[in-house]
Amino acid sequence: MKTIILKKQVIKIFLKFGLSKEHASISANALINAELVGAYGHGLSRLKMYCDRISKKVINPKPKIKVKKISQSLSHVDANNSIGFVAADVGIKTAINHAQKTGIGMVAIKGSGHYGLSGYYAEQAVKKNLITMIYTNAPPAVAPHGALKSLFGTNPICFGAPTGTKIPFILDTSISMINRGKIRVAARNNQKIPEGVALDKFGKPTNDAKKALAGVQLPIAGFRGSGLAWMVDILSGVITGGNHAGRVKDPFDDFSGPQNIGHLFITFKSNLFQKNYKQRIHDNIRTIKKLPKIKGIKEIMYPGQNKFLRYKKNLNKEIYIPSIIKKDLKDLIS
Amino acid sequence: MKTIILKKQVIKIFLKFGLSKEHASISANALINAELVGAYGHGLSRLKMYCDRISKKVINPKPKIKVKKISQSLSHVDANNSIGFVAADVGIKTAINHAQKTGIGMVAIKGSGHYGLSGYYAEQAVKKNLITMIYTNAPPAVAPHGALKSLFGTNPICFGAPTGTKIPFILDTSISMINRGKIRVAARNNQKIPEGVALDKFGKPTNDAKKALAGVQLPIAGFRGSGLAWMVDILSGVITGGNHAGRVKDPFDDFSGPQNIGHLFITFKSNLFQKNYKQRIHDNIRTIKKLPKIKGIKEIMYPGQNKFLRYKKNLNKEIYIPSIIKKDLKDLIS
């Protein structure tokens, strides 16, 4: 399907479910961006879930979002259980504004929901020549080191930096061995997942996507990854007023209340300390790309580079829509 | 040896090598803290190296450290090739000061050297009820994903948060499978290192510590760890004015010039957004500790907890000093 037609359909669906024109457009853009960068677990596969949550009144389609300004650099946002895209849009725009005025900005959000890809918001800050760090928590998926039960989300760590080129440096890495969205897509399509990334509910290794969803995802690097996940839970949940310690509800399975996810956006000017930042980052990337490579590797890619290239490539193609999602679109629009 | 006697000896040595009383004391405290927490690779095993670098004029024992205040929240420090401990002491104290005044502080440092454990500085901020994030780069040890040559340092990611108890939450994790300091200690003591953490200079797996030092350390979690290391290189090197892209010299082997390491300290008040932060973090930790445990695990520990308990235990004991370090002390003091 052509991107522009798809976008119109998604907007129409969100409008039908009560979102304002502006919020429908923000949400459609984020979902379609996920499709274009190939992050299907954060794309249209979630559209029905968002609509279901609105129908069941656990996402507020007409939120009254409050931005409390603490200082010229600091704000706290209560997203009033908005769809996550809208909360994050307010968050990153406010953080950009703070950094542009004072050099540095930090915005904490509570009362939000799943917002898709952190990297999508990081890109917006990087386009303004800012460096950014973004944290969000998520429903239980990964067991703390030593525990037999999932509690941490896949809690991504996101970092963006301008490169002086059109392709930003965007690291957006979950602290689990595999993204939960990918397991979800595999489960929907009856595909296997790799070995060593998840355990079933009895604590046994599994490559069955459905069993993995019912079980435990493994963190990267044992106690190190577990520690990073805990850090993200503190940064996005404990300090913001969002849910934490495993209390973020699974958006697909648990309609007993809003998710109350928290996010944290930190932004600062890339040339705060070094006026020739662009020259320095250019030199940094060039030096690393010139290293001798492992056999079979054509180019050492920086984080975000592959995603950007996929985006560019997909932008001129029609978006492939699996039949299961075609059905979602048809059901939701009618 | 008793801690107090050891400290006097180390101070005497640093004074002999030209440090001021204040700088000698700061440096001795950091080194002895590393011994007490059991991080021997950052302790006395490095004392001779620091003195050698002073003798060879690549550490400046009498630095003129310049602190350039950019705003009430932001400072840039030129450490004038001081010993790293002293630069970091200025950095964290300045960052604490900023956060106490405005809620948030960020301090970038250039012209520094190896400063030991990031967690040691994080503790100082956490004692003031601040949350802190600390980044530093280091000599090449880890190959970027796809490269056949080391370039990134073990580039630790450090995060500290108050817990409302005497034991702070201090995550201080290198992005390599093993700390370079541990390999160095193993090499000095002719011990093996674990499998799967390093390659020799030909790209083959090795558990020989000396071969690993000449070869490549592996990052945690493949491209994810490589991306995190790259992030730390940008945050501590590119933006600060410090060396980056593999140009930080190995302090033990390369006396051709100062290291010019960069550091970044971010601090902010833990109760910026939620007045009941202490109650929230207490609840967070308690909830996680209550999870069912893997067989053999008595308690789920948060990052920094084990290190603190080791510190407490060691504080009342004499510090064990291996004969090779006894010789260093004797040679340096005479």
- List, for residues B226-242, the tens digit of each pLDDT value: 999 999 999 999 999 99
Residue A37 main-chain phi, psi, to 5 deg: -85, 0
CB-based contact, A177 to chain B, within 8 Å = yes
Residue A159's H or E segment, with its range, is: strand A157-161
The pLDDT score that the predictor gives to residue A27 is 98
Confidence class of residue B261 from pLDDT cuts 50, 70 and 90?
very high
pLDDT at position A166, please?
A: 96
Distance CA A20, CA A15 (A): 6
**Is A280 in CB contact (< 8 Å) with chain B?**
yes
Q: Using CA atoms, how far apart are residues B68 and B109, in angstroms rounded to an integer?
A: 10
Hey, which bits of chain B come out as E strands?
66-69, 74-78, 104-112, 130-136, 157-161, 169-173, 198-199, 216-217, 261-269
Within 8 A by CB and 6+ apart from A57, the residues are none
Instruction: Judge: B288–A173 Cβ closer than 8 Å, yes or no.
Output: no
β pairing state of A74-78 and A104-112: parallel
CB contact under 8 A, A291 and B234: no
Instruction: Decide the pairing of beta strands A216-217 and A198-199.
Output: antiparallel
Q: Which residue has the tokens 């440090």?
A: B19
Nearest CA in chain A to B282: A238
Asked if A246 and B287 touch (Cβ cutoff 8 Å), the reply is yes
CA distance B295 to chain A (A): 9
Structure tokens at B241: 């004015």
Q: What does the block give as tokens for A104?
A: 């540095």
Of A231, A292, A303, the CB nearest to B149: A292
CA distance B176 to chain A (A): 10
Of A148, A169, A245, the CB nearest to B283: A245
Residue A296 touches partner B, C-beta closer than 8 Å? no
Per CB-CB distance under 8 Å, the chain B contacts of A230 are 169, 171, 288, 302-303
Contacts of B313 (CB under 8 A, 6+ apart): none
Q: How confident is the model at residue B176 (pLDDT cuts 50, 70, 90)?
A: confident
| CA distance to partner chain A, nearest, from residue B258 (Å) | 19
pLDDT band at A69 (very low <50, low <70, confident <90, very high): very high
User: 3-state class of B223 per DSSP?
Assistant: helix
The percent of residues in chain A predicted with pLDDT above 90, rounded, is 83
Whether B229 and chain A come into contact, CB under 8 Å, resolves to: no
Residue pair B177/B217 in contact (Cβ under 8 Å)? The answer is yes
What the block records as the tokens of B32 is 């002895």
Q: Interface pTM (ipTM) of the complex?
A: 0.95
CA–CA min distance B325, chain A (Å)? 30
- Determine phi and psi for B181, rounding to 5 degrees: -60, -40
pLDDT value at position A176?
A: 87
User: Higher-confidence residue: A58 or B188?
Assistant: A58
User: Do A272 and B234 lie within an 8 Å CB cutoff?
Assistant: no
Quote the minimal CA–CA distance from A109 to chain B in Å: 9
Q: Across the interface, which of B144, B270, B277 has its CB nearest the CB of A288?
A: B144
Q: Where do we find the tokens 């909360």?
A: A87
pLDDT at A203 over 80: no
pLDDT digits (tens, 9 = 90+) for A181-193: 789 889 999 999 9
B69 to chain A, any CB pair closer than 8 A? The answer is no
Partner A, chain B 119-138, Cβ-Cβ below 8 Å:
131
Check whether B201 has a pLDDT greater than 90: no
pLDDT per residue as tens digits for the range A226-253: 999 999 999 999 999 999 999 999 999 9
Q: Does any CB of chain B come closer than 8 Å to the CB of residue A306?
A: no
- Crossing angle between the packed helical segments A47-55 and A3-16, to the nearest 10 degrees: 10
The answer to whether the Cβ–Cβ distance between A73 and B73 falls below 8 Å is: yes
**Residue to test with chain A: of B69, B100, B158, B288, most A Cβ within 10 A:** B288
Largest CA distance in chain A: 56
DSSP code, position A208? B
Q: For residues B216 and A214, what is the distance between their CA atoms, to the nearest angstrom?
A: 38
Distance CA A274, CA B233 (A): 15
Range A266-285 average pLDDT: 98
Predicted model pTM? 0.95
Residue B324 Cα, gap to closest chain A Cα (Å): 31
Cα separation, A282 vs A286, whole angstroms: 6
| Interchain contact B197–A (C-beta under 8 A) | no
Q: Which residues of chain B make contact with A74, given a CB cutoff of 8 A?
A: 103-104, 272
Task: Provide the 3-class DSSP secondary structure of residue A37.
Answer: coil
- Residue A289 tokens, joined: 């790309």
DSSP state of A143: P
B99/B27 Cα distance (integer angstroms): 25
Q: Are B139 and B248 in contact (CB under 8 A)?
A: yes
Using CB atoms within 10 Å of the CB of residue B148, give its burial: 0 to 12 exposed, 13 to 18 middle, 19+ buried: middle
B274, A301: Cβ pair inside 8 Å? no
Inter-chain contact B157–A228, Cβ cutoff 8 Å?
yes
Cα A203 from Cα A183, distance rounded (Å): 17
| Residue A60 in tokens | 């507020």
Rounded to whole angstroms, the Cα distance separating A170 from B227 reads 9
Domain boundaries, chain B: 184-218
Residue with tokens 């920094």: B304
Q: Does B284 sit within 8 Å of A245, measured CB to CB?
A: yes
Architecture of the B184-218 domain:
2-Layer Sandwich (3.30)
Asked whether the beta carbons of B80 and B111 are under 8 A apart, the reply is yes
State the Cα–Cα distance between residues A58 and B80, nearest whole angstrom. Answer: 56
Tell me what the pLDDT averaged over chain B comes to.
Answer: 95
Separation between Cα atoms, residue A99 and residue A105, nearest integer Å = 5
Q: Which of B146, B239, B241 sits opposite A131 (nearest CB)?
A: B239
User: With contacts defined as CB-CB under 8 Å, which chain B residues touch A233?
Assistant: 284
State pLDDT tens for residues A1-45: 899 999 999 999 999 999 999 999 999 999 999 999 999 989 999
How far is the C-alpha of B121 from the C-alpha of B26, rounded, in Å? 12
**A284: chain B residues, CB-CB within 8 Å:** 233-234, 237-238, 244-245
Considering only residues B160 and A197, tell me which one the structure prediction assigns the higher pLDDT. Answer: B160
pLDDT at A325: 94
Closest CA to A74 of A114, A101, A56, A36: A101
In this model, does residue B177 exceed pLDDT 90? no
d(CA B86, CA B73): 21
* Digit-coded pLDDT (tens) for B291-316: 998 878 899 999 999 999 999 999 98
The whole-number average pLDDT for the span A157-176 is 96
Is the CA virtual torsion A11, A14, A18, A24 positive or negative? negative
Which chain A residues touch B102 with a CB distance below 8 Å?
A: 71, 73
Which residues of chain A lie closer than 8 angstroms to B231, CB-CB?
Answer: 159, 161, 171, 303
Q: Does A221 sit within 8 Å of B225, measured CB to CB?
A: yes
Taken in order A229, B130, A172, A90, the sign of the CA dihedral is positive
Is A77 within 8 Å of A66 (Cβ atoms)?
yes
DSSP string, A43-101: TGGGHHHHHHHHHTTSS-SS---EEEE-SSSEEEEE-TT--HHHHHHHHHHHHHHHHHH
